[in-house]
Amino acid sequence: MKICSFLFTKSFLLSQMGSPISFKKELESQEAREGGETTLSCETSSPDCKVTWRMGSTVLSQGEKYTIQQRAATHSLVIHKLVKEDSGEYTCDTGDKKSTARLTVKGNCFFIRLSSSLDTIEGDDITLHCEVSKPGVRVEWRKGGIVLQPSKKYEMKQEGCIQELCIHNLEPEDSVKEVFIITGLKTTDVFVGEWATFSCQLSGRAPGKVQWWLDGTLLENSPCIEIGTGQGFIYTLTFKNLATDDSGTVTFKVGNLTSSAKLLVKGILFMDRRLAEFKPRFLTLFYFSFFFFFCIVDI
């Protein structure tokens, strides 16, 4: 009889205490940007549990920096106005179980100045410079898509906001011929008889023959068309004494690079002096093919 009573009491106590709380969904490590906010969340096996949030060994509480929320069995921690010091391990503790994840806060950094392309000869050393907005920021130097590592060939330095890459004993293989468009064509409006110039600036020497197109027509130098090249890898196309039927889409092409813009040539309005001095009761204005026509009715 005593044994049965003991077993009943133990079973009753376990049912009263309930099963231990576990995590149905664990915290997940995250990366976030400085100045923003991020949310860490997890899901417990029961909605009727309270949790404690920690960063390292520090207990976190509701406030301007942290928002602690619970919706049913989902628990979340929102961290506001992120700084790099917010990086670390965060833990959600149910008392029975713990779930931990790492938050990495990346600083906002941008380039202020980057050294331009340089012409050198084989065997020389060359140093490339860039300036970033914050000191102590780690940067990657790449050739194409390959990350460069410090070696006898590549020497990397950092002083404050200035980053340097020194390339020793230059070889033809060290050159990178990847060229891109810095400034593309811009839509241009002119009147009949005027000139119009389109320009496209590349980051380096054009990787092939430059072509200029007007709609589907390949353009060449002529008395009415002038194709040129300026300093800083600027390529130009000039139309002279334009007519309305010169309107269309102008396209710059070289290699796999293209840039397009509209050319609109507008007609000029001519008005007889007598029409200008005449004051009709009704004046109807018609517009057709960039020219204006007047129909005047005097009642």
Q: 257 pLDDT exceeds 50?
A: yes
Task: Give the C-alpha separation, 25 to 22, whole Å.
Answer: 9
Q: What is the residue-wise DSSP string for 193-249? A: T--EEEEEEESSS-SS--EEEETTEE---BTTEEEEEETTTEEEEEE-S--GGG-EE
Residue 130: the pLDDT is: 84
Residue that is last in its domain, among 174, 203, 219: 174
| Residue 251 domain flag | yes
Is residue 205 a part of any domain in this protein? yes
**Domain CATH code at residue 262:** 2.60.40.10
Residue 10 lies in a domain: no
Domain count, the chain: 4
Question: And the tokens for 158?
Answer: 């950092």
Which range among 34-43, 97-106, 204-213, 277-286 shows the weakest confidence by mean pLDDT? Answer: 277-286
pLDDT, position 6: 40
Rg (CA), the chain: 36
Same domain, yes or no, for 259 and 186? yes
Which residues, including other chains, have CB under 8 Å from residue 272's CB and lie 6 or more apart? none
Q: Does a structural domain hold residue 8?
A: no
Q: Is residue 12 part of a domain?
A: no
Residue 95: give the domain boundaries: 19-106
Instruction: State how far the Cα of 157 lies from the Cα of 222, in Å rounded to an integer.
Output: 52
Q: So what's the pLDDT on residue 283?
A: 45
Position 258 in a domain:
yes
Is 191 found in the same domain as 120?
Answer: no
pTM confidence score: 0.39
Beta pairing class for 146-147 and 142-143: antiparallel
- pLDDT tens, 47-101? 988 999 999 999 999 999 999 999 999 999 999 999 889 999 999 999 889 999 9
The last residue of one of the domains, among 68, 86, 106, is 106
Share the mean pLDDT of the chain.
Answer: 81
Which of 49, 78, 106 is where one domain is finished?
A: 106
Tell me whether residue 129 is in a domain: yes
Same structural domain for residues 225 and 254? yes
Closest C-alpha among 137, 140, 34, 26 to residue 87: 34
154-183 pLDDT tens trace: 999 988 888 899 999 888 777 755 788 989
Q: Please give the pLDDT value at position 88.
A: 95
What pLDDT is stored for residue 298 in this prediction?
41
Question: What is residue 188's predicted lDDT score, i.e. its pLDDT?
Answer: 92
At 1 the pLDDT is: 43
Looking at the fold, whether 96 and 159 belong to one and the same domain comes out as no
Which tokens is 130 given? 């860039």
Mean pLDDT of the 272-278 span: 48
The answer to the question of residue 5 being in a domain is: no
DSSP state of 17: H
